[in-house]
Amino acid sequence: MEIRLEKLDSSQLKTKPDENNLGFGRYFADHMFVMTFDRDRGWHDAVIRKYQDFSLPPAAMVLHYGQAIFEGLKAYRGKDNAIYLFRPTDNLRRMNVSAERMCMPAIPVDEVLAALQTLLRLDADWIPAAPGATLYIRPTMIATEEGLGVRPAGRYTFFIINSPVGAYYPEGFNPVKIFVTDKYVRAVPGGVGHVKTAGNYAASIMAAVEAQKQGFTQVLWLDAIERRYIEEVGTMNIFFLINNELITPPLSGSILPGITRDSVLRLTRDWGLTVTERKITIDEVLTAIENGSLQEIFGTGTAAVISPVGELHYKGRDCCINQGRTGAIAQRLFNEIQAIQNGYQEDPYGWAIKL
Ligand SMILES: Cc1ncc(COP(=O)(O)O)c(C=O)c1O
């Protein structure tokens, strides 16, 4: 696939935002990667060009039937000012799992990775150097065919946009308060919970808003059938350390196979911990809190890396975890994964890709 490069002149570049006040998803780098798919030509018209608006017909199928998938990964400015990506091929492969489930075309993973690397070299000045700040990368695919009727669209746009984001923990690595909902569910077996499609997030907003109104950071979802088995948090997978056993729910088809989750499983097994992917109920967690055997709870995801949980709220009860403090395993994982992501620690897994 040939990629056209429409590079902006230096006079057309945007003024960069203050690296110490980036927040999340508020600013976008100068260039984007775009390519188009149709049935006759496959993927074509690949171009790196100015970050700019799309023009879409009102009948574009994504606006009606929601064929929209995305990914989230980061570029890090690490050791010796070099730029690193963390397991980018895994994100692009996961995107193809999403594409298949949503009857959308697969992307050519190696070529898209090469395009991303070209884009990052071009917009390298957008990868922040402030401590903890990164460039968040958002590959996305939408159905653009003009037409009504529920069926797979015949035309798609794939694009990658990049957004410099601030440190997730500007004031230090602080435990969060989580609301366990038994009122709403996120995903059902046989549904689309295991893929990153936009509708999953739209459907989750109401529960998140209600939880935030009550002072909680995120929602912990239970399974949709019995509302007992723990699934995952809004944008994170979840781990429990009980009696020195590290437990996380299995990839049963209704949770996202997180890349951070996979990295945590690999690292902790290599450290010699007892690590189990198994079903775990909210009652088992509450009992473990009551009898003192629950040592830590933490979430895992690209945005936060590791997010210690200091409090769980369930059915009107507040339960304090590890006296509201970050546990030793969460801290060690956070330090080690960040060190690998930024090239400061030897990476026997081949996860960090230097640009
Ligand atoms: C629903 C959901 N679960 C888990 C995760 C964590 O996945 P990852 O570690 O690949 O970022 C995410 C973030 O992408 C998510 O949106």
Query: Model-level pTM?
Result: 0.97
CA distances from 21 to 8, 26, 124, 212 (A): 26, 10, 19, 22
Distance 220 CA to ligand 1 centre (A): 13
Which residues surround ligand 1 with Cβ inside 6 Å? 72, 232, 235-237, 256, 258-261, 300-302
The residue contributing the CA closest to ligand 1 atom 7 is 258
Gap between the Cα atoms of 132 and 148, Å rounded: 45
Distance 11 CA to ligand 1 centre (A): 38
Binned average pLDDT, 10 residues per bin, the chain of 355 residues: 95 96 96 98 98 98 98 96 97 98 98 98 97 96 98 98 89 87 96 98 97 94 98 96 98 97 98 98 97 97 95 96 95 97 96 96
Q: Tell me the best of 168, 256, 305, 333 to mutate to test the pocket of ligand 1, counting ligand atoms within 8 Å of each CB and taking the most.
A: 256
Distance 352 CA to ligand 1 centre (A): 18
Residue 125 DSSP label: G
CATH 3.30.470.10 in the chain, residue ranges: 3-165
Which ligand 1 atom sits closest to the C-alpha of 263?
Answer: 9
- In this prediction, residue 171 carries a pLDDT of 65
Distance 39 CA to ligand 1 centre (A): 31
Gap between the Cα atoms of 139 and 41, Å rounded: 21
- Angle at the Cα of 128 (from 108 to 68), degrees rounded to 5? 35
- Angle at the Cα of 227 (from 226 to 229), degrees rounded to 5? 90
Cα dihedral 113/107/127/16 (nearest 10): 140
The residue contributing the CA closest to ligand 1 atom 2 is 235
We find that the CATH architecture of domain 3-165 is 2-Layer Sandwich (3.30)
The residue contributing the CA closest to ligand 1 atom 16 is 235
Strand pairing category for 245-248 and 274-277: parallel
Distance 258 CA to ligand 1 centre (A): 5
Which ligand 1 atom sits closest to the C-alpha of 260?
Answer: 9
Distance 236 CA to ligand 1 centre (A): 5
Distance 301 CA to ligand 1 centre (A): 5
The residue contributing the CA closest to ligand 1 atom 13 is 235
- Angle at the Cα of 75 (from 93 to 10), degrees rounded to 5? 120
Which ligand 1 atom sits closest to the C-alpha of 91?
Answer: 10
Helix, strand, coil tally for the chain in percent (to 5):
25, 30, 40
Helices (H), 48-87: 62-65
CATH 3.20.10.10 in the chain, residue ranges: 176-344
- Which tokens is 181 given? 């909902």
Distance 1 CA to ligand 1 centre (A): 30
CB 267 within 8 A of CB 336: yes
Judged on CB neighbours under 10 Å (0-12, 13-18, 19+), 211 is buried
Distance 66 CA to ligand 1 centre (A): 20
Fold of 176-344: D-amino Acid Aminotransferase; Chain A, domain 2 (3.20.10)
Which ligand 1 atom sits closest to the C-alpha of 73?
Answer: 11
